[in-house]
Structure 1
């Protein structure tokens, strides 16, 4: 790759890093690499319109049967239509306390998944920042090598290959990051959908 094309490629990579930094600066957490605004926690009050749980309901939410059912409902591989059907069946015999306990368990489980995922996204974003800095350092080193009075063309070729490799990794990771950043939102949407389904079974 000639120097002009290399500079264009590096400009694109660094522009992507700058956009990520600008998106992060617009959110609550400056280290957050996603364009989606960071919502650290998913609370029951955000997604539940039913009764406020008391200590007895909270204890019931931790019971093995309720916890196991909640974990099943949380799984994205279970289609929402099937989840809604199972909730409707469960609601035939469940009272309001049990339904509220189920929602507490669902919220707790999905929020735990979200927090673990968001922690991983944050670490992923830091790696991208570090890699962007490494790319810029390689670019500057290569420019210095090319400007030398007696350029070492073998060393320049080696540095160019390393630069190409780092750039390719950065771009691939950036594309993956775009997808991964959608995951917390998908989990939130499932929590809201489950909340509506469970609330629909409450008795007057």
Structure 2
């Protein structure tokens, strides 16, 4: 029964939303994009990060501020570059190390957000499967009621109303799947872009 419902779910969403994946072996990941559970800081920032805390409180605070700015996804890369260059102007010593510290904090922030999105996609997918099962069960009950010798048309009307409503909810939710599935990949690309930008600023 569970397998049948998942197959029905896959067929239904395949028509309504072409971005859904063809492989439904993982019901918590309904996306075409390959699922990458976690990102690697070392792949994005191959330069060795300094150990230990920053001793200068003013520098530590400025690094946190820069990291906070870098983590704001609505800001354009030009604005982020300007923030990094202004930081370097204020702290011209140990530029590479300090920008690495800022990126490490930015990575932690955005990677946490990315993990939250992936968990949200899992909850979304399982919720849609549960709603699909509910719709199938109501259809079956309605068909059975109609085939009865003396159909209970009041019950049929009630089921039909609930069925229509749940199908609207299901379809409306599917509208957001494209954005949800793209978000982890967009965060990953942005982190790579920030890393490249900061490394460029450090070399200037």
How far does residue 30 in structure 1 lie from its aligned partner after superposition?
4.9
Is the contact made by 1:42 and 1:111 (CA closer than 8 Å) also made in structure 2? yes
How far does residue 200 in structure 1 lie from its aligned partner after superposition?
0.3
How far apart are the structure 2 equivalents of 1:71 and 1:14? 40
State the Cα deviation string for residues 45-94 of structure 1 (Å, max 9, x = none).
23224x211423xx34xx44322321221112222221122122223334
Map of 1:28-177 to 2, 5 A cutoff? 30-49=27-46, 51-56=47-52, 59-60=53-54, 63-92=60-89, 93-94=91-92, 95-177=95-177
SS at match of 2:32: coil
How far apart are the structure 2 equivalents of 1:97 and 1:167? 54
How many residue pairs get matched? 186
Is the contact made by 1:74 and 1:110 (CA closer than 8 Å) also made in structure 2? yes
SS at match of 1:201: helix
How far apart are the structure 2 equivalents of 1:125 and 1:142? 26
How far apart are the structure 1 equivalents of 2:10 and 2:137? 12
- In the alignment, structure 1 segments of 5+ residues that lack a partner are 1-10
SS at match of 2:148: coil
Q: 1:118 to 1:132 in 2, by over 3 A?
A: same
SS at match of 1:182: helix
TM-score (norm 2): 0.81
Is the contact made by 2:30 and 2:125 (CA closer than 8 Å) also made in structure 1? yes
Instruction: Report the aligned-residue RMSD.
Output: 2.4
How far apart are the structure 2 equivalents of 1:32 and 1:64? 39
How far apart are the structure 2 equivalents of 1:130 and 1:98? 48
Q: 1:39 to 1:170 in 2, by over 3 A?
A: same
TM-score (norm 1): 0.81
- In the alignment, structure 2 segments of 5+ residues that lack a partner are 1-6, 55-59
How far does residue 128 in structure 1 lie from its aligned partner after superposition?
0.6
